[in-house]
């Protein structure tokens, strides 16, 4: 069984999408751990309801050591780490130990509206303020650069003149749920090849 750890910071709707996909046998996997950097993240309750092991490494308490604590827990125990609305930055040895085994879902079409301090509603506010006609979401590998890893999948979402950041966020989030499941499935089925920093999906 393919084993996953999911890192969260907020409500956990992307976590729920993964849980549902496993329960409906769309993903041949199990979630071994849900780890948060916030004690009050609702995502933890979603995990507890499914009897998934939960842990909290508060960034304010652990600082830069939080990545090392996560590595201590996960090393040798999971095949993939999924950042699903996780707002802290992973750094240090975990990036080497889990090279090309950590993915993130970002609420824009990278390289637009990404990088340091671009997360959550801020991304959608930037898209609205820029007046773009299209936004979307991206699943990518995690490396030492914020939102800088190889892009696995992207999904385009229309941006309408009447949109505000919240309506755009809602529309993008619906696509995030689908895209994240699709990316995980490709990884489980070993259909991803990384060539010179680019992803090729095997047929």
What residues are labeled active site? 106
Tokens of 116: 């340091």
List CB contacts of 33: < 8 A, sequence separation 6 or more: 5, 6, 52, 53, 54, 55, 73, 74, 77, 78
120 is known to lie in a ligand binding site: no
Tokens of 158: 């229309």
List CB contacts of 156: < 8 A, sequence separation 6 or more: 109, 134, 135, 136
196 is known to lie in a ligand binding site: no
In whole angstroms, what is the distance from residue 56 CA to residue 197 CA? 32
14 is known to lie in a ligand binding site: yes
Reported residue count of the chain is 203
Task: Count the alpha carbons within 13 Å of 195 in the hemisphere toward its beta carbon.
Answer: 6
67 is known to lie in a ligand binding site: no
64 is known to lie in a ligand binding site: yes
DSSP 80: E
Rg (CA), the chain: 16
Residue where the block lists tokens 């304010």: 60
Annotated binding site: 12-14, 64, 104
Annotated binding site for (6R)-10-formyltetrahydrofolate: 64, 104
């Amino acid at each position: 069984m393919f084993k996953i750890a999911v890192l969260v910071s907020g409500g956990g709707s992307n976590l729920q999408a993964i849980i549902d996909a496993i329960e409906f046998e769309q993903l041949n996997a199990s979630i071994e751990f849900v780890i948060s950097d916030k004690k009050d993240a609702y995502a933890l309750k979603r995990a507890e309801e499914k009897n998934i092991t939960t842990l909290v490494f508060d960034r304010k308490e652990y600082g830069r050591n939080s990545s090392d604590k996560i590595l201590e827990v996960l090393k040798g125990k999971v095949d993939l780490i999924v950042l699903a609305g996780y707002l802290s930055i992973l750094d240090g040895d975990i990036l080497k130990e889990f090279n090309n085994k950590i993915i993130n879902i970002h609420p824009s079409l990278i390289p637009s509206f990404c990088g340091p301090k671009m997360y959550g509603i801020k991304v959608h506010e930037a898209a609205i303020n820029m007046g773009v006609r299209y936004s979307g979401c991206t699943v990518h590998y995690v490396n030492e650069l914020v939102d800088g890893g190889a892009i696995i999948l992207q999904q385009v979402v229309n941006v309408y003149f009447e949109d505000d950041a919240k309506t755009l966020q809602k529309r993008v989030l619906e696509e995030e749920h689908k895209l994240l499941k699709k990316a995980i499935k490709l990884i489980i089925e070993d259909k991803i090849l990384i060539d010179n920093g680019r992803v090729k999906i095997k047929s």
